[in-house]
Amino acid sequence: MIKVLVVEDSPVVREFLVRILGADPSIQVIGTANDGEQALEAVARKRPDVITMDIHMPKLDGLEATRRIMETYPTPIVIVSGRTDPREVATTFRAMEAGAVAVLRLPAGIGHPEHEASARELVQTVRLMSEVKVVRRWPKAGRQPELAPPAQAQRAQVEAKVKVIAIGASTGGPPVLQTILAALPQDFPLPILIVQHMAAGFTQGFVQWLAQTSSLPVHLAMHDEYIRPGHVYVAPDEFQMRVERSGKIVLTKDEPENGLRPSVSYLFRSVAEVYGRDAVAGLLTGMGRDGAEELKLLRDGGATTFAQDKESSVVHGMPGEAIKLDAATFILLPEKIPAVLTNLAHNRK
């Protein structure tokens, strides 16, 4: 049984979450907490496998509670929020800086057309996060990244004529993307395209949160806009994002791929077609295999590719699948990625 602690200040929402989670035979809700202080006490007493955490609470909010739990009894924490105002969502993502592993929208109410799907997403996320035995926000200092064989690494740097960078991420991706973007220099010369799997309603706030620590402009991608050097574009909710030879971003309502819209596979395939060997592409932490085969397609076409290493990944699904396919030129720790990208960018011909 997966032992879950539900932290939520609203009695109605708290009971709602308990009912959804308790209906699954593999989950046992071992307790609830009305605020962050009660959550700290409950974690110490009950040692749950997973915590669902509200952010806006009296006495001690979810952000500070997350930070203290990760300092004392590290436990997988799933932020469950009913707020989608971009400014408040940006605050929610600060909990991921503190160590939370996922952010989900509060499931729709009983009778709502999306209730079953959103409830199922919560249950599936809790199940998956229960398997994250050690939650790491920062990899251990002093470890060296695994690299491709020296000849391949040298080829990637010498032959690169990089014009664009594309990155895909899912579970655990937001803090890794923040780490990468925050470390890139202000004069970074390449556009960066990002697909981050995320519950609908959170992406605008996610973009604002990334922008707080990045010296590069971070945008929610818009249809038919030209890609500009040194700018970051994040795929919006419920749209597939691709690039065209004209240098424009195209957003479509094309069918989901791997059950996802936006899909990393969809973006990577267009990058391979338009840029070929003049692209850099990478997969970060996340469940599933979205983008893995297309990363292989990019590498086979001469592009430079990378995947996040296993130890620093919350879930090593997407990058792990890519590594199995020999799709990654580099296997990197998150803090090593900015230096590799900067090096490739400034070795353009």
**Pair (264, 186) in one structural domain:** yes
| Dist CA 52 CA 80 (whole Å) | 6
Active site residue 170: yes
State the pTM of this model.
0.86
Backbone angles phi, psi at 15, to 5 degrees: -65, -35
The residue range of the domain holding 158 is 150-345
**Residue 338 reports pLDDT greater than 50:** yes
pLDDT digits (tens, 9 = 90+) for 196-233: 999 888 899 999 999 999 999 999 999 999 999 999 99
Is the residue at 141 inside a domain? no
**Residue 348 reports pLDDT greater than 80:** no
Mean pLDDT of 279-292: 95
Write down the pLDDT at residue 93: 87
Model confidence band, residue 190 (pLDDT cutoffs 50, 70, 90): very high
Is the residue at 145 inside a domain? no
Q: Considering the candidates 81, 118, 170, 263, report the single residue annotated as catalytic.
A: 170
| Dist CA 339 CA 26 (whole Å) | 43
Write down the pLDDT at residue 327: 96
**Pair (154, 248) in one structural domain:** yes
**Pair (62, 9) in one structural domain:** yes
Q: Considering the candidates 130, 290, 312, 313, report the single residue annotated as catalytic.
A: 290
Q: Considering the candidates 9, 197, 270, 316, report the single residue annotated as catalytic.
A: 197
| Dist CA 292 CA 283 (whole Å) | 8
Tokens found for residue 131: 């398997």
**Pair (188, 118) in one structural domain:** no
In eight-state DSSP terms, residue 276 is: G
Is the residue at 160 inside a domain? yes
Nearest Cα to Cα of residue 285 among 320, 258, 257: 320
Domain with residue 314: its CATH number is 3.40.50.180
Instruction: Look at the chain and report how many structural domains it folds into.
Output: 2
**Pair (82, 33) in one structural domain:** yes
Nearest Cα to Cα of residue 227 among 280, 165, 182, 167: 165
Active site residue 197: yes
| Dist CA 33 CA 102 (whole Å) | 19
Tokens found for residue 41: 């006490």
